[in-house]
């Protein structure tokens, strides 16, 4: 197996590019953007297969935005492991969203009980990140066709996390440093 992206290719939170707003993408996509999207998808799949992740020292990830690989363009990929059998081949749902925007959300808020993580944040972070339990995103696919995706729970959190990256926001920016568990009782843990 040839690794197309490695952990060293993911920029760290100290990199100022992660605080910048990414630029809209024009269509047709460049060959370089299409290739990078494929590399990002493969990286996320590899990171979720324990044997490969361990062998190549990959931290598991579910989403990756272009800015995390140093490209200030508005696209992200999400790869969700939907395998229901540990003995079988891994099965993934893959989402590519270009020029995404959240067009609706639930009133209910949730947070990741063990704490949200990020491939660009290489340290433990305590605190809760309030997220909407259900969201609808609109954007474009690889061919420039408008698409709409409804997501809930973990997938909704991931979409919101990746959209934040495109807007120069890290999940750590949502945590109140004086009260990291603020409003915990008004949200549901997942």
Cα separation, 46 vs 54, in Å, equals: 10
How many other C-beta atoms can be found within 10 angstroms of the C-beta atom of residue 2? 4
> CA-to-CA distance for 172 and 164, rounded, in angstroms?
11
**Are the C-beta atoms of 135 and 158 separated by less than 8 Å?**
no
Distance between CA atoms of residues 150 and 5, nearest Å: 28
Torsion of CA 152, 157, 162, 167, to 10 degrees: 110
| DSSP letters spanning 62-92 | SEEEGGGGT--BSEEEEEEE----TTS---E
User: Could you tell me which of 68, 151, 137 has the C-alpha nearest to residue 98?
Assistant: 137
Catalytic residue among 13, 38, 51, 162: 162
Q: Would residue 89 show up in a list of annotated catalytic residues for this protein?
A: no
Catalytic annotation, residues:
162
């Amino acid at each position: 197996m040839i690794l197309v992206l490695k952990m060293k290719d993911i920029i760290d939170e100290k990199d100022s590019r992660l605080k910048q707003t990414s630029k809209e993408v024009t269509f047709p996509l460049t060959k370089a953007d299409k290739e990078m999207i494929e590399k990002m998808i493969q990286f996320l799949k590899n990171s979720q297969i324990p044997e490969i992740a361990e062998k190549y020292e990959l931290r598991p990830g579910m989403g990756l935005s272009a800015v995390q690989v140093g490209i200030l363009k508005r696209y992200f990929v999400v790869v969700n492991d939907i395998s229901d059998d540990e003995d079988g081949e891994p099965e993934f749902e893959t989402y590519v969203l270009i020029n995404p925007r959240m067009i609706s959300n639930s009133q209910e808020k949730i947070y990741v009980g063990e704490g949200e993580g990020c491939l660009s944040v290489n340290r433990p972070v305590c605190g809760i990140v309030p997220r909407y339990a259900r969201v609808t995103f609109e954007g474009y696919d690889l061919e420039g066709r408008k698409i709409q995706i409804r997501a809930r729970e973990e997938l909704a959190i991931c979409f919101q996390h990746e959209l934040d990256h495109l807007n120069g926001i890290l999940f750590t920016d949502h945590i109140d440093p004086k009260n990291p568990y603020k409003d915990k009782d008004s949200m549901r843990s997942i």
